[in-house]
Amino acid sequence: MTSRVPVLLSTSSVFPERTAAAFQMAAAVGYDGVEVMVWTDAVSQDAGALRGLARHYDVPVLSVHAPCLLVTQRVWSPDPWERLRRAAELAETLEAPTVVVHPPFTWQRDYARNFAEGLDRIAGQFPGLRFAVENMYPVRMAGRQFVPYVPGWDPTETGYPAYTLDLSHCAASHTDSIEMADRMGDRLAHVHLGDGTGEGRDEHLVPGRGTQPCGELLRSLAGRGFTGSVAVEVTTRGARSRAVREADLREALEFARAHLTAPSPVDA
């Protein structure tokens, strides 16, 4: 049974396997679509290759994650605006309605200075897309904490037209995902489904294995008027085999579908 809200498999969830493997596993397990994390794998950057995979496995690309990670700072271009523009072109070509983007890093001074205005400008060039800014988290090292994002890790403090709610990042920032969703309000466009224990690091556990209210958040989406998609973004790099990885991804999908279709007593 397919829920009203599409459940996608992020290609990052199969790492260290590559982008093509995500399409294969999404089809095998029964996901509604794929979120492409654009990174150093050439296939993740290639609209033609991605279209071919989507057609072959009958699994559409429904969101594109722009290359915002430390390891993707040279993908396509060292210019973050060019990377975002290319991600938008990729999404438009693949008819994926959502582009996920992170707040700027502190050292990206020019990018950060005009981030909100620049985001509006690019959104104007791609009117069919939603650019959903993702909540991040402070980094804790050697007993100290710092925020590597400008103006901060919480995008709701600045305010953007659309947001991605990442539950694992909520755990890492010691934030309740329900409260974060409340702050995002009707601008909540996309969800990254993972879990965490609140130990101060980004864990991306299979939902239900941490302490975030993953099920409650999913059950609340209907009452929030949510019209986006939910992308499973979990870490399976420790899986001992392909079968174990696939079992984790099946568990995450079953969790998502069960809670998305369950009635919620909460009028969100």
Across the chain, the runs of DSSP E, i.e. the strands, are 7-10, 33-37, 61-65, 98-101, 130-134, 139-141, 144-146, 163-166, 188-193, 229-232
**Model pLDDT for residues 177-202, shown as the tens digit of each residue:** 999 999 999 999 999 999 999 876 78
Among 167, 255, 175, residue whose Cα is nearest residue 215: 255
Taking residues 34-38, what's their average pLDDT?
Answer: 97
Q: Find tokens 């104007």 and name the residue.
A: 124
Whole-number percent of the chain with pLDDT over 70: 96
pLDDT bin (cut points 50, 70, 90) of residue 67 is very high
CA angle, corner 125, sides to 120 and 128, nearest 5?
95
Helices and strands per DSSP (H, E), number in the chain: 9, 10
pLDDT for 199: 79
Q: Please tell me what DSSP assigns to residue 153.
A: S
pLDDT for 16: 95
- Residue type for position 92: E
Taking residues 94-98, what's their average pLDDT?
Answer: 98
Measured distance CA(114)–CA(125) in Å, rounded:
17
Who contacts 97 (Cβ-Cβ below 8 Å, separation ≥6)? 62, 63, 91, 128, 129, 130
Question: Long-range contacts made by residues 261-266, C-beta under 8 angstroms, separation at least 24?
Answer: 261/1, 261/3, 261/4, 262/215, 262/219, 263/219, 264/216, 264/219, 264/220, 264/222, 264/223, 266/216, 266/219, 266/220, 266/223
**Model pLDDT for residues 115-128, shown as the tens digit of each residue:** 999 999 999 999 99
69 pLDDT more than 90: no
**Model pLDDT for residues 225-258, shown as the tens digit of each residue:** 999 999 999 999 999 999 999 999 999 999 999 9
Measured distance CA(59)–CA(8) in Å, rounded:
9
- Residue type for position 76: W
pTM of the model: 0.94
